[in-house]
Amino acid sequence: MPGKRHLQNLFKPGHQLWRNRLKTTAATQVPDYSNDDQPGQPSTSHVQDVTAGVGVVSPDSSGQPYDLRSKSKTGTQENPVTGKLGSMRVIHIEKNANMWNSAYQGHIELGTCARPHFDVGDERKIGLVVQQKLKCANCDFVTPFHALYDERDTAKRGRKAAVTNVALCAGMMETAIGAKGLQMLLASMDIVPPARTSINKLARKVGGEIEELSKKDMQKKAKEVAGRKRKLKNVSMDACYNSVTRFNNKKPGQAASQAIATAIETDSTNKYIVGVAVQNQLCWRGAFLRNKGFEVECGTANAHFDCAANHPESDALCERRLGRELGRQLAVDQDILVDYATSDGDARTVEGFEEAMKLVQPNWTVPRLADPRHLGQTQFSVGHKAQLSSSLFPHHTTQADKRKAQIILAADLKNRSQCIFDHVHRECQGEASKMKKVLPKVVETVLNCYAGDCSDCKNFSGGTCHGSDGKSWWEKSYDLSVSGIHSLNVSSSDRCVMKTVLDMKLGERAVEKLFLKTDTQKNEAFNRSVRVSLPKNINFSRQVGPRLHTSALRINNGPGKAVEMKAAHLRTPVSSGTRSFLARLQSQDQYQKAYNKDVSVKARRRQQRSAKKHRHLIKSGYLKHQLDLPRHDHAYPSSR
């Protein structure tokens, strides 16, 4: 059996050990540390040099070698708290007074010095609030840490969250400010801002509680309006996107990445929001993983853990799916059925809403009603793009003036048809069968009125023209009178075009879509209101749901009451002074709503819009592509 092989020695004869090769520098030359006062004990300079470490320079390596367990240089340093005390703090007044009173009482009981001088000894920052302890500069007296804030009353163990931090996250969702914007705001006020991680972590928890509160509030209001029959006559639905344009050259498919849909009941005068739905394609965690090389699909069944998206990025945002989610919230979750649904003519939201209703009642149908405002915009578009005769406007000679006059006429047809519909609907008490019998004669009378024949206007013009016995439509119409249009030369082709525009709102098919006189204006108002906390130029991937529900809670209850409801639900009570301010805010909001609905205010706004439109047509310095289009008014020499 062969013998065991021994390893050869790695060291050669004459090898110099590592410790012998180290050379001490002049700065680190170890001096004599003899202590004459106390023999056998190191001197003070010895202790300071030892704790600071001895630097060495290696001849065969560059730079300073790493020192394991290195210690910072000891000596007199500035107190880390002292540098922060010059800034502002958010503290509770009573808690702060209690801390100082407790410090004085404890110092008196100990009696360590006759004249105490207190200063902040240490501080713990917890989000926006702090914990502090006091120390006496003349003795060794130190107080324990005092929490200068109120804590949330929870049944869980451990440290409780600060009321101020929770309220800050709840209030942040009322605005467009995110974590970074909040830090910039606090830093501008000389308040040390909290970390973004802690803000986002707490905001996520608070947002979930606000979302839960808003859902319960919407369900409560839907049940109150539906009553015992568990049925709503009509709901209005509309959706909005987080993009100004529909498409973008830099992004395949739709330019938007988030879609929001709302369902609002129209049975009551309050028009409560009874359902909201969100489609979100944004997920910062998924984008982070994809940048690292991982293949993840956000918004699908195979999504990664804690995915914020609920809709695949490759799929288009679908309003039909949003309508199905709105219907599920009413039919499946609350067992409430809906007879009609009002929406614009742009998407198929009502079809998805009907599919959800059929999950409860298989034979249930939800007819779609049209929105008169969107239908009026379609009227205006058809009217000003139509081919009219050149002799229709006798007092306008140039082509540009005739084009402007056609725009004014299209707007007048839209406004007059709405006035006629409102008058006939009121006279027939909303019965569609009676309206279908009356409106054909009204349309013919209106066409004769534009042609100059007002003989039947007193009885069959839908209350818009009184003929020779009173004020005619040429005088009542603000658009026509301001623009200087007092007569028209209506040809047979012009009459057909004008009849087509009027029938879009006064025809038999239009009556079936408009007989309930419902609209989506409250949905449009909510879409504008939600942009306060969800602007289109800022994307919130995780907080889109809580911020949406925050806006819904504010619209349903008013700004003042919504804040009080959130404070009660989040266990963040407000003081009496804050409650007084919220009461004034609620009163101002109610007054502003009543003021905007006043009849005289509405009439004044219509006149102001018409006057502004007229000034724009005659004095506008803006014209689409006016500097890019080639001009043909130059006298070029003829080429031969």
pLDDT, tens digit, 9 for 90 and up, residues 613-634: 777 766 656 666 667 766 555 5
Query: Residue 604: is its pLDDT beyond 80?
Result: yes
Q: How high is the pLDDT of residue 258?
A: 93
* Lowest-pLDDT range of 15-29, 82-96, 142-156, 519-533: 15-29
237 closest CA partner among 460, 526, 550? 526
Which tens digits make up the pLDDT trace of 344-378? 988 889 999 999 999 999 999 999 999 999 999 99
H helix or E strand, kind and range, residue 210: helix 196-226
Asked if pLDDT for residue 48 goes beyond 60, the answer is no
pLDDT in tens, 140-182: 899 999 999 999 988 788 888 999 999 999 999 999 999 999 9
Q: Quote the mean pLDDT of the chain.
A: 84
**Mean pLDDT of the region 13-26:** 53
| Residue 470, pLDDT score | 65
pLDDT of residue 254: 75
At residue 70, the pLDDT reads: 52
Between residues 180 and 19, the one the model is more confident about: 180
Band (400; pLDDT cuts 50, 70, 90): confident
Q: Which residue has the tokens 């080639």?
A: 630
Mean pLDDT in residue range 416-429: 93
For 481-495, how does the pLDDT look when each residue is reduced to its tens digit (9 = 90+)? Answer: 877 888 899 999 999
pLDDT > 50? residue 83: no
Residue 238: the pLDDT is 95
What is the pLDDT at residue 9? 57
Q: How far apart are the first and last CA of the chain?
A: 115
Q: How confident is the model at residue 396 (pLDDT cuts 50, 70, 90)?
A: confident
**What's the per-residue H, E or C state across 108-149?**
HHHCCCCCCCEEEEEEEEECCEEEEEEEECCCCCECCCEECC
Q: What is residue 503's predicted lDDT score, i.e. its pLDDT?
A: 94
State yes or no: pLDDT of 398 exceeds 90: no
Which residues share a beta bridge with 265?
Answer: 235
CA distances from 537 to 242, 244, 253, 531, 541 (A): 8, 9, 18, 10, 13
Give pTM, 2 decimals: 0.78
Quote the pLDDT of residue 576: 93
Percent of the chain with pLDDT over 70: 81
Q: What per-residue confidence (pLDDT) applies to 415?
A: 92
Q: Which residue has the tokens 């199905």?
A: 324
Q: In which band, very low, low, confident or very high, does the pLDDT at 35 lie, cut at 50, 70 and 90?
A: low
CA distance 8 to 20: 23
pLDDT of residue 205: 94
433-486: pLDDT as tens digits: 999 999 999 999 999 999 988 888 888 888 888 876 668 888 888 888 877 888
Residue 639 pLDDT more than 50?
no
| CB of 55 closer than 8 Å to CB of 66 | no
* Mean pLDDT along residues 386-396: 89
Please name the residues in contact with 301: beta carbons below 8 A apart, sequence gap of 6 or more: none
What pLDDT score was predicted for residue 528? 94
* pLDDT score, position 85: 64
Strand locations in 408-522 (E): none
Lowest-confidence segment of 229-243, 441-455, 480-494, 501-515 by average pLDDT: 480-494
List phi, psi (to 5°) of 126: -125, 90
User: What pLDDT is recorded for position 177?
Assistant: 92
Cα–Cα distance for residue pair 118/101, rounded to 1 Å? 11
**Higher pLDDT among residues 622 and 73, named by residue:** 622
For the segment 63-78, the average pLDDT, to the nearest whole number, is 48
Range 301-315 average pLDDT: 89
| Gap between the Cα atoms of 238 and 262, Å rounded | 6
Task: Give the DSSP letter string of 250-301.
Answer: TEEEES-SEEEEEEEE-SSSS--EEEEEEEE---HHHHHHHHTT----TTST
Alpha-carbon distances, residue 91 vs 95, 99, 150, 193, 524 (angstroms): 8, 11, 9, 14, 41
